[in-house]
Amino acid sequence: MTLARPMRIVVAGTGTEVGKTWTAVKSIERARAQGMRVAARKPAQSYSSEDRVTDADLLAAATGETAHEVCPAHRWYPVPMAPPMAADALGRARIELSELLEETRWCEAADVTLIETAGGLCSPIAHDGDNLKLIERIAPTKVVLVADAGLGTLNAVRLCLRALGAMPTVVFLNRYDEQSELHRRNRAWLASEGVTTCVDIESVVEAL
């Protein structure tokens, strides 16, 4: 891979529960194994109050940072809703996109800073903006779009790619099974449209 320093990578998803955090953690581990210095950021996170480990905890464990370096303490919302909805439910202040951008600082000491969004691409991450708007303002080196490999992924991926426009994007088909005809055909269809797809973490890191 060609390494630009520092690289700014956004991990986004076609929806919830597609494996963004797993993908981010495994990519971090792979990149660090190759000798790269990696930092992680999550502008805001919402979660169940019963969760013992949050996304920020997992990302911090992968990079060696603290969880509050990954996600500021006041951006932890212990309600399983989109962050601005969780803030409302908790009676906390509005989340402004400009504030998230100001707080989400790239680590200049790292070769790669990876930022994970919350929810799907068009899920609201602030009261005045969604993940797509956040990504547009960040202008990352590349977007890793995590998608499920199965039924419905063509629609989800193609809609997200249209929204992302000209932003450099690689699609990671998570939970890909080479033995599944549907998975193989989904990948082939996207490839026929010129979409860069990966089905393993090694390929994701190489595509950066």
Q: Which amino acids are annotated catalytic? A: 42
DSSP string, the chain: ----SSEEEEEEESSTTS-HHHHHHHHHHHHHHTT--EEEE-S-EE--TT-SS-HHHHHHHHHT--HHHHS-GGGEE-SSS-HHHHHHHTTPPPPPHHHHHHH----TTSSEEEEE-SSSTTSEEETTEEHHHHHHHH--SEEEEEEESSTTHHHHHHHHHHHHTTS-EEEEEET--TT-HHHHHHHHHHHHTT--EESSHHHHHHH-
Q: How far apart are CA 39 and CA 32, in angstroms?
A: 10
Neighbours of 4 (CB within 10 A): 12
